[in-house]
Structure 1
Amino acid sequence: MFHSPFFISLKIALLATLLVVISGLFLAYKSLHWKKARKIMDIIFLLPMVLPPTVIGFFLLLFFSKQYPFGQFLDNVGIQIIFSWWGGVFASFIVAFPLMYRSVQSAMEQMDENLCLVARTLGMKEITIFWKIVIPNCIPGIVSGILLAFTRAFGEFGATIMVAGNIPGKTQTISMAIYSAMQSGDFQTAYIWVACILLFSTACILVMQYVTSYKWKKVEK
């Protein structure tokens, strides 16, 4: 059961989303303070949103290849990324990261900056301001970013198949299972997995809409 495409997709998406949340919150917050570097940061971090997934997979293959320093280092310590489910995690992370980064960045831009200024005059540390003021005031944007990133990672195909491959029971996600079923003419299996990913993604969007609307109603009161 745990080797089915659904659980492989879920495992990869959850780990990729965890990495996205940690890095996305930090980098989105820093981008608002590093004014001079922000344009460069935006270009680098948003580029995967417009690049074809196969191009992202190509660069990841080069990055983790044994022919390059980082890939050689991983090989020397016995870590295999290419053609493993960890390859799917990193591919999904790169593809989903821009959604989290931009959602959080937009939420932070709309927040009243005077709240942070007052907190600094009262002697609060930046880390305290981040957790006690910024995060609570940006919850709708953060939740939206998390759910968008998760659903994107859950359905990722192009970059994942290049880095992790399509190995049944190991790296075959739902998207790859659909592809394989269509290739073999097994339309019934393809319909089942398509319905599964549609229902799952729709549920995530409904949760995102509920959380966002609930928070806005709470503010209006």
Structure 2
Amino acid sequence: MLWVPAVVALALVVLPVVGLLTRSDLTRLPSLLVRPSSLSALRLSLETAALSTVACVLLGVPLAVVLARSRVPGIRFLRSVVLLPLVLPPVVGGLALLYLLGRKGFLGELIGWATGAQVPFTTAAVVIAQTFVAMPFLVVSLEGALRGAGDRYERIAATLGARPWTVFRRVTLPLLLPALGSGVVLSFARALGEFGATITFAGSLEDVTRTLPLEVYQQAEVDVDSAVALALLLIVVAVVVIALARPRALEGVRS
């Protein structure tokens, strides 16, 4: 009985991609993909997604540990706030970032006064927007792994005299490695496909903020064949990233 809904679910994922393939002009595909604007958007997408993934790891790992191990009052509320980008429409997140870091935002005014720089509509804004929407995926993966593993080994290490940093480095991090691999893949893939928060907070400036999803949207209004070709390219890149990285994460889980 499970085969019927399983086949329907698989069709729901696969058939739209088949629809793109049937709509694409394969004879024009190479020429469409090597356009300067397409290559620039692909390069910017890969660079910003990589940077935002690094930011997710640097910020998300400590946050996940705090959420999983802390017993302070209000931690459940903080957990809900951290996961808010998972359920918010990305454009709402983009507006929130704009009114925080924009020229009239309270933090944006402070940055402008101190440095004379503006954050919105820059490549840095793309990285911030991608980090905002992608980091919860990493935090969810890591927090779930930590809560499932429990804190027995960490407590034992502490009773043996290990300092907190030593416990984190020698016990907690090894426990996180399998989930970290999975979380990094999810974060990178989410950042690569980010659209709503990016276009709202960073705009769509060629060679500066126009990532591949924004280029697809731009081309859809003027050249459908080009938009379809770029959409297929984005799908291929995402599938390759997941196919290369996901098995390693699963191997860590099995071990």
For residue 221 of structure 2, give the secondary structure of its aligned residue in structure 1: helix
**1:193 shift after superposition:** 1.4
- Aligned partner of 1:32: which letter? A
> Does the 8 Å CA contact 2:111/2:117 hold for their aligned counterparts?
yes
**1:88 shift after superposition:** 0.8
User: Residue 191 of structure 2 corresponds to which residue in structure 1?
Assistant: 153
TM-superposition CA deviations, 1:55-87 (whole Å, max 9, x none)? 001111100122233111221212221111111
Which of these two proteins has the greater Rg computed from alpha carbons? Answer: 2
User: Residue 9 of structure 1 corresponds to which residue in structure 2?
Assistant: 45
CA–CA separation in structure 2 for the residues paired with 1:31 and 1:217? 25
- Aligned partner of 2:53: which letter? T
For residue 59 of structure 2, give the secondary structure of its aligned residue in structure 1: helix
User: Residue 198 of structure 1 corresponds to which residue in structure 2?
Assistant: 235
CA–CA separation in structure 2 for the residues paired with 1:204 and 1:164? 25
- Taking structure 2 as the reference length, the TM-score comes to 0.81
**1:172 shift after superposition:** 0.6
User: Residue 52 of structure 1 corresponds to which residue in structure 2?
Assistant: 89
User: Residue 65 of structure 1 corresponds to which residue in structure 2?
Assistant: 102
Relative to structure 2, which stretch is displaced further, 83-92 or 65-74?
65-74
**1:113 shift after superposition:** 2.1
- Aligned partner of 1:149: which letter? S
Off by >6 Å, runs of 4+ in structure 1: none
User: Residue 109 of structure 1 corresponds to which residue in structure 2?
Assistant: 147
Q: Does 1:179 align with 2:217?
A: yes
**1:191 shift after superposition:** 2.2
> Does the 8 Å CA contact 1:82/1:164 hold for their aligned counterparts?
yes
TM-superposition CA deviations, 1:110-150 (whole Å, max 9, x none)? 22422111100111111111111111122111111111011
**1:217 shift after superposition:** 3.2
* Match among 156, 177, 187 for residue 139 of structure 1: 177
Q: Unmatched 5+ residue regions in structure 1?
A: none
For residue 130 of structure 2, give the secondary structure of its aligned residue in structure 1: helix
Q: Does 1:18 align with 2:81?
A: no
- Taking structure 1 as the reference length, the TM-score comes to 0.92
For residue 156 of structure 1, give the secondary structure of its aligned residue in structure 2: coil
CA–CA separation in structure 2 for the residues paired with 1:151 and 1:216? 20
- Aligned partner of 1:23: which letter? L
* Match among 37, 40, 46 for residue 74 of structure 2: 37
CA–CA separation in structure 2 for the residues paired with 1:151 and 1:88? 15
Relative to structure 2, which stretch is displaced further, 146-155 or 26-35?
26-35
**1:161 shift after superposition:** 0.2
CA–CA separation in structure 1 for the residues paired with 2:99 and 2:105? 7
**1:12 shift after superposition:** 1.3
